[in-house]
Amino acid sequence: MSAKAVERLETRPSDAAIQWVDLGERAYPIVIGRGLLAQAGALFEAHAPAKRVAVVTDANVAPLHLSSLETGLKRAGIRTVPIIVPSGESTKDFHHLQTLLEALLENGIERGDVVAALGGGVVGDLAGCAAGLLRRGVRFVQVPTSLLAQVDSSVGGKTGINTRQGKNLVGVFHQPALVLADIDTLETLSDREFRAGYAEVVKYGLINNAAFFKWLEERGGALRGNADDLIHAITVSCASKADIVAADERESGARALLNLGHTFGHALEAHYGFDGTLIHGEAVSIGMAQAFRYSRLQGFCNQDDVERVTHHLASVGLPTRISHINGERPAADGLLRHIRQDKKVRDGALTFILTRGIGEAFIAHDVDAETVERFLEKECDTGTTHGRTD
């Protein structure tokens, strides 16, 4: 972090880590620490000249954290307009986007104000999209309350909604002015949600940081009970994402690396229909293990790395195989159909994120669809529902 960048942050709370996303004039800090909601006023002040913040949150998060954020903002004389949307992936649609935009307009939210997203990835994506569209763009602050949102979706400016045609197909790039990741909010997550977010933490080690993966092997299983380690893991994850986003904001190249495990994972999510059978981070965990197994099959990486990855994911209770999902088995051709819908297919070739080993992910543009289908046939047939060590 440069000295100039530190100056841009007017208030630096103690006991917090700060990671900048260096996008020139649009650079912004990710502040990671404890008790940050209570200090929100000081952190938001510079971004809210009209001293008003529309806080978009959902029905699950509102009773847990809304009043802490509002109290924190009031300490700096900032008024709040709370807008509560239903929780769940189905809120990311045209109907709720329209309702939210109309609520923001009816409350007179304009360019001197801030739209803040308090919640997980759904709230962040929906509120960010609304902030990017409202009056052609108003200031936006992310206050992520899930581990998944703190290490991934709140950083990088991707916003959007789902349509009948697929996930995140309508949206805008709209970078936040600030990301405020208060780890105290993670205490209310279920173990399952926390684990699912942890899959995205592991992803950063697997993409380009073998030393971080090793650290996670040693300490990742106990993150929940150790605030310093948790702040470290979130900071390293955000630093990795910040570097990739700064180099390729609009995903014309390296940003695609962040999709490691997501092509296989999205196909599984689409198959199970977002009904809670398989949540995003779990799908990513299986998808990452599959990306390693597929890379091994193609001779790109060695078996030791495949085993280290699957062993670590399994050791924290994450699924690594289709057979670990508590639901009926999908068919390979159905999964491939989802993959083809998700991706541009050129002359029968697909783009996947593959790997030469832990910390050595790469973008492969020429993956043969038939080979993937044969691989998926085996994946759909393999394993039992007992044990998660393979």
Hey, what long-range contacts does 87-90 have (CB within 8 A, 24 or more apart)?
Answer: 87/58, 87/59, 87/60, 87/61, 87/119, 87/122, 88/58, 88/122, 89/122, 89/162, 89/274, 90/274
**What is the closest distance, in whole angstroms, from the C-beta atom of residue 8 to ligand GLY in the complex?**
23
302-235-92 Cα angle (round to 5): 90
313: Cβ contacts below 8 Å, ≥ 6 apart:
199, 202, 285, 288, 289, 319, 320
Q: Is 125 in the site for ligand GLY (CB under 6 A)?
A: no
Q: How far is residue 195 from each of residues 190, 215, 347, measured CA to CA in Å?
A: 9, 17, 38
**Largest pairwise CA distance in the chain:** 61
Cite the active site residues. Answer: 136, 158, 200, 241, 251, 255, 259, 262, 266, 280
Closer Cβ to ligand GLY, 158 or 324, answer by number: 158
Q: Is 193 in the site for ligand GLY (CB under 6 A)?
A: no
Site string for ligand GLY, 229-268 (x = CB under 6 A): --------------------------x--x----------
**What is the closest distance, in whole angstroms, from the C-beta atom of residue 52 to ligand GLY in the complex?**
29
Interface region with ligand GLY, contact rule CB under 6 A, candidates 150-158, 165-173, 188-196, 277-285: 150-158
Closer Cβ to ligand GLY, 65 or 158, answer by number: 158
What part of residues 151-190 is at the interface with ligand GLY (CB under 6 A)? 152, 156, 158
If 0-12 CB within 10 Å is exposed, 13-18 middle and 19+ buried, where does residue 82 land?
middle
If 0-12 CB within 10 Å is exposed, 13-18 middle and 19+ buried, where does residue 307 land?
middle
Q: What is the DSSP letter of 158?
A: B
Q: Is 203 in the site for ligand GLY (CB under 6 A)?
A: no
Closer Cβ to ligand GLY, 152 or 193, answer by number: 152
Written as six digits, the tokens of 370 are 């038939």
Q: How many residues make contact with ligand GLY (CB under 6 A)?
A: 5
Site string for ligand GLY, 39-78 (x = CB under 6 A): ----------------------------------------
Q: Is 343 in the site for ligand GLY (CB under 6 A)?
A: no
What are the residues binding ligand GLY (CB under 6 A)?
152, 156, 158, 255, 258
